[in-house]
Structure 1
């Protein structure tokens, strides 16, 4: 063990307040709708008319598939007044910085040895309290580690909140220009008139020669875990041999992607040339309507798009159905004027996406090294 470090237990750092949790059924929540967040294992799932906790706490997933997949954080902070069900452990740090330390520690911790249940993974309270937490004995060093990592999280959060504001502004401008001020003499048509649709497929996973190359290949899973309007990377890559099995080939950088099933309607621009699987509708702006116009049309008309999805196992909208959806086509001068207004907004969103990616990589590199003592903080600075 590193000199000056020792093992702690979770109860050395925080008070566990599970005894105060109260689950509410979906029916009960519908009868108690209100302003207070209702948390489950992976975050807010509803809003209710009362609260059980007040002030900053840490929630750690108690059960659910996410304990293994880690699609969303398993440890996260909740603040203000809120309600928690019995699917998340709730902790209150003994010192304010302990909340940040706990979140960061669990975000990089392999929990496989502490999880029970093959069908429904579970992290019991007994397992949680048995997990050793290696930290410096010096509380000043503990606090500095938390501050370093939290400063990166704060910068990322600020950029994401800025993104939300910019996206809302772009949607508002679109609604004002093309929905609220729509004219009766605008030409009516279908999406097939204004965009080009591409489909995709999955190369055989049984053929190793198709996989682990350097060509980006995406499935909708990449979008469900994606923050923002830009897909900067893909979980899997394919080889030229794998690409040859996909009839649509490689879509150009900047292509607009929409998930067509499981779920319908996730949207993003691909930053890189990309091949897509069968769960996507790939959209190219080859017919005079910009990709910014198209994504904003889809975002503001997504309920309409989803109303044409069907399927017994999961909802899906086919490419042929998608192309037949009706659209009112604003005249080109109006579209060009709108484009000049929103282009800087999308430019800033792209810059923010790159900054967030850089900050996340820095944080994810520093996190295990700081939490293991491989990198030490300078307390004299």
Structure 2
């Protein structure tokens, strides 16, 4: 049977299917400021703005009530939407799809609770669509204050499209199928990363790599010798990062020279990208002229990058593309004898110690000299080669997954606004 062509109507939000309605954010939900009662609690999970990102709750660890900061006030429950008031474009938001009785959140997070007009997850997708985020950011920047900030009173008059509840649920399920695939890829990658970290620790911290007979080296009586880093296997050596590897400190081309930032084809990242598990796309593209006339340098794919100052201090990632970086990023490049996989896992293992020994002053930071002078353990060539062979397939699978996730995210982001405006409609009959 031939489907009837849908009819559209002009509304305050643009062209919508004729059976859709328009309403305001304030009419379909409210901002909740229910204070948490700590009377019978000793420990609680506190969520600040930095503990949620792009739909996910990043922290679920308990802390003592007595150690809670002053802004730990708001109670939440299942189906609430958490949305940071500060810099909405930074995507500090999450949907609560779990029992949240033991959670308290910051007063800097809006707690948005839906009424029966709208399906909670549908509103969540509306509020987090990129055009809406950009609009929120514009509103935030138009206000005077220390930070770009929005409040519920500012956004409650914004008009949004509302299909019937059945169609809302169908749209949500369609998007959730993509989101679930993205979550699965992420879990696979974190499992692979965990395997790499466990093997690294087993071989290069506990020294229980297989000996010639396939038995754990140290516990089977393998010979150990003294070194600057303590007892290490015979034949291994201690060196320094700066002696073994090329390290690159990034830079930022002049932002007043617009030609450096227009029609470029050289990838460039800022330190905010180091928060990502792997870096598969740049913050911006710059021109070759920009590279030639600034301190920034091109780093090859596979380089380990770490943030050396600011909010991302101590974050470690790995670039999956050739890219330049800004001055808050240091790159450590592999050499022909020491694999990039080993460098990455080594820095992940040592970064906390490096920061704790070197930071100080009002602005915590580390510098290139601190990184170059870091003592590192280097195994014999045979052991390094065997470890590289094991890790290369793990890291290759992580890279493939990251690019698949990037492509899937781009498809999702292109479909979302069309689904939310009725330009693409999913038949209600196919819902699960």
CA distance change for structure 1 residues 41 and 202 in 2, over 3 Å: closer, same or farther?
closer
Shift of residue 245, structure 1, vs aligned partner: 1.9
Shift of residue 346, structure 1, vs aligned partner: 1.0
Mapped pair 1:158 → 2:169:
no
CA distance, structure 2, for counterparts of residue 87 and residue 219 of structure 1: 25
* Equivalent in the alignment of 1:6: 21
* Equivalent in the alignment of 1:123: 150
Compare 139-148 and 265-274 and name the one that shifted more: 265-274
- 1:177 partner SS: helix
- 1:231 partner SS: coil
Mapped pair 1:203 → 2:253:
yes
- 2:416 partner SS: helix
Mapped pair 1:47 → 2:47:
no
CA distance change for structure 1 residues 33 and 190 in 2, over 3 Å: closer, same or farther?
farther
TM-score, normalising length from structure 1? Answer: 0.85
- 1:373 partner SS: coil
Q: Is the 8 A contact 1:249 1:275 kept in 2?
A: yes
Compare 172-181 and 161-170 and name the one that shifted more: 161-170
Q: Is the 8 A contact 1:193 1:287 kept in 2?
A: no
Q: Deviations over 1:210-251 (max 9, x none)?
A: 222111112212223x2x1x2111111111111112456422
Mapped pair 1:18 → 2:32:
yes
CA distance change for structure 1 residues 365 and 180 in 2, over 3 Å: closer, same or farther?
same
Tell me which of 256, 269, 284 is aligned to 2:333: 284
Q: Is the 8 A contact 1:7 1:134 kept in 2?
A: yes
* Equivalent in the alignment of 1:252: 300
- Which has the larger Rg? 2
Segments of structure 1 that go 5 or more residues without pairing to the other structure are none
Q: How do 1:293-312 and structure 2 match up within 5 A? A: 293-310=342-359, 312=361
CA distance, structure 2, for counterparts of residue 128 and residue 363 of structure 1: 25
* Equivalent in the alignment of 1:178: 204
* Equivalent in the alignment of 1:135: 162
CA distance change for structure 1 residues 293 and 10 in 2, over 3 Å: closer, same or farther?
same
* Equivalent in the alignment of 1:111: 136
* Equivalent in the alignment of 1:220: 271
Shift of residue 282, structure 1, vs aligned partner: 1.6
Mapped pair 1:237 → 2:285:
yes
Shift of residue 372, structure 1, vs aligned partner: 1.7
Compare 215-224 and 240-249 and name the one that shifted more: 240-249
* Equivalent in the alignment of 1:352: 401
Tell me which of 73, 77, 80 is aligned to 2:96: 77
Q: CA RMSD in A?
A: 2.9
Q: Deviations over 1:260-313 (max 9, x none)?
A: 222332222222222222222121111511010011001111112213433535
TM-score, normalising length from structure 2? Answer: 0.76
- 2:285 partner SS: strand
- 1:237 partner SS: strand
Q: Is the 8 A contact 2:75 2:104 kept in 1?
A: yes
Shift of residue 178, structure 1, vs aligned partner: 0.4
Q: Is the 8 A contact 2:118 2:165 kept in 1?
A: no
Tell me which of 83, 86, 99 is aligned to 1:60: 83
* Equivalent in the alignment of 1:145: 171
CA distance, structure 1, for counterparts of residue 271 and residue 407 of structure 2: 23
Compare 166-175 and 200-209 and name the one that shifted more: 200-209
Q: Is the 8 A contact 1:33 1:47 kept in 2?
A: no
Mapped pair 1:187 → 2:237:
yes
- 1:217 partner SS: strand
CA distance, structure 2, for counterparts of residue 114 and residue 242 of structure 1: 32
CA distance, structure 1, for counterparts of residue 37 and residue 274 of structure 2: 30
CA distance change for structure 1 residues 155 and 248 in 2, over 3 Å: closer, same or farther?
same
Q: Is the 8 A contact 1:308 1:317 kept in 2?
A: no
* Equivalent in the alignment of 1:100: 121
